[in-house]
Amino acid sequence: MKRHLTEQELIEYRFKLASDAQMGEIGGHLGECGQCRGELGRLARKFAALDLLHEEIKASEDLISQVVEQAGQPRRIRLAAYRKLPAWAGAAAAVLVVGLLLVVSNLPKSDLYKEPVARGPGIAGIDEKETLAPYKFAAEGVGGFGMRPTADLAEPGISEQAPFAPASAIELVTLPRRDNVQLTIYNSADLTLVRERRNLTLKRGWNWLQFMWANTLIDPTSLSLEPLEKGDEIDIQQLVFPARLRELGRWLIRSEVSGQVPFEITYFTSGLSWRAFYMGTLGRDEKTMQMKGYVVVGNNSGEDYEDAQTRLIVGQVHLLDQIAELAARQYAYGRPGAEVVMLEEALDAGGIHLANGLFAPGVVELKQAVELLDRKEIKKEGLSEYFLYTIEGTETIPHQWGKRLLSFEAEDIKVDSLYKYDEERWGDQTIRFVKFANDKDHNLGETPIPDGDVRIYSQADDIGHLSYVGGTSVKYIPVSEEVELDLGPARLVKVEPVLMSFKTDNYMFDTKKEIAGWDEIRSWDMKLTNTRELPVEIEITRGFGTAYWTLRMDAKDVDYKKHDATHARFELKLGPRTKRTLGYTVTTYHGVREEAMSK
């Protein structure tokens, strides 16, 4: 074997996973190659870490006795007995259980701690965490999620020297349950600002608060902790990410007070997203529409958010770092002990920019950034459209769940049905539009309408059956803005242009007797057909390929408007089940005739 051995080959050799032939071949190579021997040695040292879990584990006599006793009471028999219990026995048992719970809840907490209820971390389900953890802390002498008052608490002064690390496990406080939580979802950047309030029980002196972000998409660099009360007596000194402990951080808090203090914790996470969609139902006369707006919020952040107030941000947020990428790091800043960085933001047209260079070493002051982000309000001027969309009340959004929430509902929105024909844009198809405005006249206008898909239905009959008319996606609609929903090609309203005649005229010649200019005169008949039961409004746009043109309508009741330099536009109404021909003659000027025309 002339090449060096791969890591896989070395592992298979080290753990005798390779076939005999391969073992011989690898062994032969190792005999000759110092580099591969060195690599094998490195791997062996690496795998030596596995021996750290080689501790001797003994099954206690209690456990064995329980198992043996259990074996002496076959389950089948117990189940059979249970099934035979009459209904009154179940009710009596329930009363007993409730009574027992009441008694237990009134016991001193130190008694409760003696119960063998403690469970290891990381594996406990949420119920275990939430119900068992307080008991454990209660046993330490301070209720709730506090910590045991240690000997130094009795001392009048607090050591000025901040501790390097917690002296023991008991010195650590974990985050208790949230009292409330607010999510602000910046959809465009896969970014959610989470603000949550929790009550921490502090002792007077130095406190360590430990948190983990394993299996979540929380950006640990963005974590910020602020006391909501007694701010002058509580000092958040530092946030440390201990070496070799994955996805775990500790805040060091110096407190002049002892007891429960409300804190606000803010951080960014990714994995939460939202999208809006709308359902419109046209009335029978298609002059009014009922519209419902929905928002679907999805949670893949790894974290459950219970009773969260949810706010959605419409607008573009540009980030230097992707939050999901930050969250995936083993250590918050790439390596343990690295500098804590300051996150600032720069506001720019079109949204918020977290621009390069604004990450400076220092103490975490994300709060400023958070407040800046948070106080953005509706701006409708220029390019900086930015809107905060708050969902009323609170919602529980568990991990991997999506939730559809009604965002608004409006009745009797006046709409105009409009059919458009523009060969250059849609070929020979007539396209149907529904037009309305996001304003009070249309029973809307309370808030801008975020981007989303719109589906329009119409009432097919008097008993409320609906038929699908069409769907489109809309861009952000500011208040007072008109919107036209493109519902796709119409089959019942047709526009067919027919060229009736073409001639050239007014030739002009230069000094060499060559043609220098001429006119082209075309006569068109636009054959319009409305096979619907309703009158319709049609807008026809015609292009001439030159800015030098004149147009003469055959009919007197319809006129044209110059849409732009090269296009004319006709607008007319067509009655139900009507056909009509709209004729016009257009003259285009070419060569030196352009000059003549412009004069």
Tokens of 528: 């319009």
Radius of gyration, alpha carbons of the chain? 37
137 binds another protein (CB under 8 A): yes
Nearer to another protein, 399 or 435 (CB): 399
Three-state SS at 549? strand
CA distances from 494 to 210, 245, 264, 432, 467 (A): 70, 70, 62, 11, 21
For residue 361, the surrounding DSSP H or E stretch is strand 360-361
What mask of x and - would describe binding to another protein in positions 182 to 211, judged by CB under 8 A?
A: ----------------------------xx
- C-beta separation of 527 from 579 below 8 A: yes
- C-beta separation of 305 from 299 below 8 A: yes
501 binds another protein (CB under 8 A): no
- Out of 31, 122, 157, 382, the residue judged to bind another protein by CB under 8 A: 122
- Out of 259, 283, 302, 488, the residue judged to bind another protein by CB under 8 A: 302
Q: CA 278 to CA 319: how far, in whole Å? A: 29
Biggest CA–CA distance in the chain, Å, is: 123
218 binds another protein (CB under 8 A): yes
498 binds another protein (CB under 8 A): no
Interactions with another protein, residue window 246-265 (CB under 8 A)? 246, 248, 265
Least Å from the CB of residue 45 to another protein: 4
Nearer to another protein, 176 or 205 (CB): 176
- C-beta separation of 256 from 366 below 8 A: no
- C-beta separation of 135 from 112 below 8 A: yes
283 binds another protein (CB under 8 A): no
Q: Which stretch binds another protein (CB under 8 A): 56-64, 358-366, 376-384, 474-482?
A: 56-64
52 binds another protein (CB under 8 A): yes
Nearer to another protein, 177 or 455 (CB): 177
What mask of x and - would describe binding to another protein in positions 69 to 108, judged by CB under 8 A?
A: -xxx-xx---------------------------------
For residue 10, the surrounding DSSP H or E stretch is helix 7-14
User: 3-state secondary structure string, 552-581?
Assistant: EECCCCCCEEEEECCEEEEEEEECCCEEEE
- Out of 54, 83, 556, 599, the residue judged to bind another protein by CB under 8 A: 54
Q: CA 321 to CA 354: how far, in whole Å? A: 9
Q: Taken in order 462, 468, 474, 476, is the CA torsion positive or negative?
A: positive
User: 3-state secondary structure string, 176-230?
Assistant: CCCCEEEEEEEHHHCEEEEEEEEEEEECCEEEEEEEECCCCCEEEEEEEEEECCC
Interactions with another protein, residue window 364-403 (CB under 8 A)? 399
Nearer to another protein, 136 or 435 (CB): 136
Q: How many positions of this chain bind another protein (CB under 8 A)?
A: 80
Least Å from the CB of residue 201 to another protein: 12
Q: Which stretch binds another protein (CB under 8 A): 62-70, 78-86, 273-281, 319-327?
A: 62-70
Tokens of 443: 């029973």
Least Å from the CB of residue 198 to another protein: 9
165 binds another protein (CB under 8 A): yes
47 binds another protein (CB under 8 A): yes
φ/ψ of 470, rounded to 5, equals: 170, 170
- Out of 33, 124, 342, 572, the residue judged to bind another protein by CB under 8 A: 124
Least Å from the CB of residue 406 to another protein: 27
Nearer to another protein, 129 or 435 (CB): 129
173 binds another protein (CB under 8 A): yes
Instruction: Name beta bridge partners: 584.
Output: 524, 553
563 CB-near residues (< 8 Å, 6+ apart) = 541, 569
307 binds another protein (CB under 8 A): no
Interactions with another protein, residue window 398-437 (CB under 8 A)? 399
Q: Which stretch binds another protein (CB under 8 A): 40-48, 419-427, 545-553, 577-585?
A: 40-48
Helix (H), strand (E) counts: the chain: 12, 31
128 binds another protein (CB under 8 A): yes
361 binds another protein (CB under 8 A): no
Interactions with another protein, residue window 1-30 (CB under 8 A)? 7-8, 11-12, 15, 17
Nearer to another protein, 42 or 562 (CB): 42
- Out of 31, 34, 108, 125, the residue judged to bind another protein by CB under 8 A: 125
Least Å from the CB of residue 228 to another protein: 17
Tell me, rounded to whole angstroms, the distance of Cα 304 from its chain centroid: 14
* Bridge pairing between strands 351-353 and 316-318: parallel
Nearer to another protein, 27 or 74 (CB): 74
Q: CA 450 to CA 387: how far, in whole Å? A: 9
- Out of 58, 84, 375, 556, the residue judged to bind another protein by CB under 8 A: 58
CA distances from 485 to 56, 352, 438, 455, 574 (A): 71, 29, 12, 9, 21
Residue with tokens 């009441």: 102
172 binds another protein (CB under 8 A): yes
177 binds another protein (CB under 8 A): yes
33 binds another protein (CB under 8 A): no
48 binds another protein (CB under 8 A): yes
Three-state SS at 231? coil
151 binds another protein (CB under 8 A): no
Interactions with another protein, residue window 444-483 (CB under 8 A)? none
User: 3-state secondary structure string, 502-522?
Assistant: EEEEEEEECCCCCEEEEEEEE
User: How many CB atoms are located within 10 Å of the residue 220 CB?
Assistant: 22
Q: Taken in order 234, 235, 238, 239, is the CA torsion positive or negative?
A: positive
Nearer to another protein, 114 or 552 (CB): 114
174 binds another protein (CB under 8 A): yes
Nearer to another protein, 299 or 417 (CB): 299
Nearer to another protein, 81 or 243 (CB): 243
Q: Which stretch binds another protein (CB under 8 A): 49-57, 367-375, 461-469, 578-586?
A: 49-57
Backbone φ/ψ region at 585: left (φ over 0), alpha (ψ -120 to 50), beta: beta
For residue 252, the surrounding DSSP H or E stretch is strand 248-255
Least Å from the CB of residue 116 to another protein: 8
